[in-house]
Amino acid sequence: MTRRLTGFQPTGHLHLGNLVGAMRPLVRAQERPETTHSIAMIADLHALTVEHDPDRLRANTLQVATVLLAAGVDPRRTAVIANSQVPEHTELHYLLESATGYGEAARMIQFKEKSAAGKSGVRLSLLTYPVLMAADILVHDSEQVPVGDDQSQHLELARTISARFNARYGDTFTVPEGIRPESAARIMDLADPTRKMSKSTPSAAGRIGLLDPPEVIRRTIARAVTDTVGVVRDDPDGQPGVTNLLAVLRACADREPGSFTSYGALKREVTDAVEAVLAPIRARYAELSEDPGHVRQILAEGSARVRPRAAETVRRTRAALGLLD
């Protein structure tokens, strides 16, 4: 059985790209429990690397968990956890820090970019959080990790740390493999189709939130960038905006798009297809939100389910490093 870890950041509203690229694969994996064991992890500890509002972080973490459930993640088949509620994540984090060089963490691209912008206000956790990410992965003996371009360097660090640790201290960790989303699952920014849809971009004009109301979805798609060619065709190099709209339609309607006489006709069909996918998620989210205690209980049960394996990984690591039982 393949063990797979999929992470979600509670730093903003989940969007259509998250649904297509990360959440749907989780749901599909549930249909083959004999081959894939999945964990959906909300990385709330990662949010502590920068200035944040504690109440907002708690609310965001609960919201992400609720959206995952609303989108079809079944907690009976997929453990849904927050990494802050599994103490083994932070214990393994320190143990891995003790086997990682400063230079390895300092040359991570995100640290360079954010530390340059933050200057004296940079937190130490921003430097070490790629090692925490490695701990998130390794503590569960994860064999596969879905990863995008922005996190590929961090996954490589996890692979480097685990392989080196095994060579130096004995076979301790599973060395994880990265899984790239299918090309059809890569939903790009509607305002700038040269970059993927992301909740970290300053403007919301290019993304479709999973909880956006119909009028916002309609307006966002109506304003999506196209071009002046005037012909609807799948041409990533020449017509990236149109190609992206076709990818959205393909992902939401689950079929190959037909022919269109205008960009307006394409956008109207994309709007209908997106709304058909998101309306049930919004409705289910509204139901689940009425009982946040139930969602909290699901997180607690998920953490309890994964902790025995996590504890065994930490035990192996402590023994390998020479710590007393």
Q: Which of 112, 119, 196, 267 is catalytic?
A: 196
- Does 84 share its domain with 215? no
- Does 246 share its domain with 302? no
What is the reported pLDDT for 46?
94
User: Which of 107-116, 177-186, 315-324 is least confident?
Assistant: 107-116
Identify the domain containing residue 86 by its residue range: 2-184+291-321
Average pLDDT score over residue span 102-120: 72
pLDDT band at 204 (very low <50, low <70, confident <90, very high): confident
Give the DSSP H or E segment for 273. helix 263-289
- Does 108 share its domain with 45? yes
* Pair 84, 296: CB distance under 8 Å: no
pLDDT band at 205 (very low <50, low <70, confident <90, very high): confident
- Does 96 share its domain with 239? no
pLDDT band at 150 (very low <50, low <70, confident <90, very high): confident
- Does 204 share its domain with 126? no
pTM: 0.93
- Does 164 share its domain with 208? no
**Which CATH number belongs to the domain containing residue 233 in this structure?**
1.10.240.10
- Does 267 share its domain with 119? no
- Does 261 share its domain with 135? no
Task: Return the SS3 of 55.
Answer: helix
Residue 296 has pLDDT above 80, yes or no: yes
Average pLDDT score over residue span 218-230: 95
132: exposed, middle or buried (C-beta count within 10 Å: 0-12, 13-18, 19+)? buried
User: Which of 6-10, 84-88, 104-108 is least confident?
Assistant: 104-108
- Does 170 share its domain with 234? no
For the chain, how many structural domains are there in total?
Answer: 2
What is the reported pLDDT for 183?
56
Residue 157 has pLDDT above 90, yes or no: yes
pLDDT band at 117 (very low <50, low <70, confident <90, very high): low
- Does 241 share its domain with 179? no
DSSP string, 4-43: EEEEE--SS--BHHHIIIIIHHHHHHTT-TTTEEEEEEE-
What is the reported pLDDT for 186?
81
Residue 196 among the catalytic residues: yes
14: exposed, middle or buried (C-beta count within 10 Å: 0-12, 13-18, 19+)? buried
pLDDT band at 198 (very low <50, low <70, confident <90, very high): confident
Residue 185 has pLDDT above 70, yes or no: no
Q: Which of 112, 114, 119, 267 is catalytic?
A: 114
- Does 7 share its domain with 156? yes
pLDDT band at 160 (very low <50, low <70, confident <90, very high): very high
What is the reported pLDDT for 14?
95
- Does 167 share its domain with 195? no
Query: Across the beta sheet with 177-179, what order do the strands follow?
Result: 78-82, 36-42, 2-8, 144-146, 177-179
Q: Could you tell me how many residues make up the chain? A: 325
Residue 267 among the catalytic residues: no
Residue 119 has pLDDT above 70, yes or no: no
CA distance 16 to 248: 9
Residue 119 among the catalytic residues: no
pLDDT band at 152 (very low <50, low <70, confident <90, very high): confident
What is the reported pLDDT for 116?
63
**Which CATH number belongs to the domain containing residue 146 in this structure?**
3.40.50.620
For 238-281, the pLDDT digits (tens) are 999 999 999 999 999 988 898 999 999 999 999 999 999 999 99
Average pLDDT score over residue span 44-62: 95
